[in-house]
Amino acid sequence: MERFSIIVGDITQSDADAIVNAANTTLLGGSGVDGAIHRAAGPELLAECRTLGGCETGKAKITSGYRLSAQYVIHTPGPIWQGGGYGEAALLASCYRSCLLLAAEKGLRTVDFPSISTGVYHYPLPQAATVALKAIMDFLDAHDLPERVRMVCHTEETALVYRQTWNLWYAGDKSNRM
């Protein structure tokens, strides 16, 4: 099993132990992948989210997956892009790390991510991909769990940017890692 891969698909159809939701700080649902996950999981997801008291940007909280194939949903509010000078990169990296840490603590083996903040939150895709891949690869280098992480891109265009970024930084051996 490849430790990390980039695929095209609908994350609500994922059978990973956990899928990550690109949420907002209220955790009370929204549009984009947040809306899709809530629709697929059913109303019990919102009911559980209501008990969580929201979530800070860059942090993560875990719930059951309910009607989803995934057993869990890890909710993380990504940063809203404001031009890049307001700590967006650090907050985005923190989203990925927080989700992976929660998954590892829970002993989860497989985790699927959407491309956090690159939709409604307007984070430029090439920059978000660079931050995401570094955060994921650094975490996997230092931890045994999760055993498999996938970036589930909703479109081929998104996947192309992640693959180009992967090839730029991670193709070949480890010596050229950023």
Catalytic residues: 34
Of 6, 16, 18, 36, the one binding ligand APR by CB under 6 A: 36
What are the C-alpha distances in Å from 74 to residues 34, 71, 95, 111, 168? Answer: 11, 10, 10, 9, 29
Dist. CA 143–CA 86, nearest whole Å: 29
Q: How far is the CB of 149 from ligand APR (least distance, A)?
A: 15
The helix-helix angle for 88-105 and 125-142 (nearest 10°) equals: 40
Interaction of residue 65 with ligand APR, rule CB under 6 A = no
Q: How far is the CB of 100 from ligand APR (least distance, A)?
A: 17
93 neighbors 137 (Cβ within 8 angstroms): no
**C-alpha closest to that of 19 among 1, 43, 38:** 38
Q: Tell me which stretch binds ligand APR (CB under 6 A): 9-17, 83-91, 137-145, 166-174.
A: 9-17
Q: How far is the CB of 44 from ligand APR (least distance, A)?
A: 18
Q: Tell me which stretch binds ligand APR (CB under 6 A): 34-42, 58-66, 102-110, 132-140.
A: 34-42
Dist. CA 31–CA 33, nearest whole Å: 6
**Strand stretches in the chain, DSSP E:** 4-8, 18-23, 61-64, 72-77, 110-113, 148-153
Of 16, 17, 18, 34, the one binding ligand APR by CB under 6 A: 34
Interaction of residue 69 with ligand APR, rule CB under 6 A = no
Interaction of residue 24 with ligand APR, rule CB under 6 A = yes
Q: How far is the CB of 177 from ligand APR (least distance, A)?
A: 25
Instruction: Identify the helix (H) or strand (E) that includes residue 158.
Output: helix 156-169
Q: Tell me which stretch binds ligand APR (CB under 6 A): 27-35, 47-55, 67-75, 168-176.
A: 27-35
Interaction of residue 115 with ligand APR, rule CB under 6 A = yes
Binding residues (CB under 6 A) for ligand APR: these are 10-12, 22-24, 30-36, 78, 114-121, 152, 154, 158
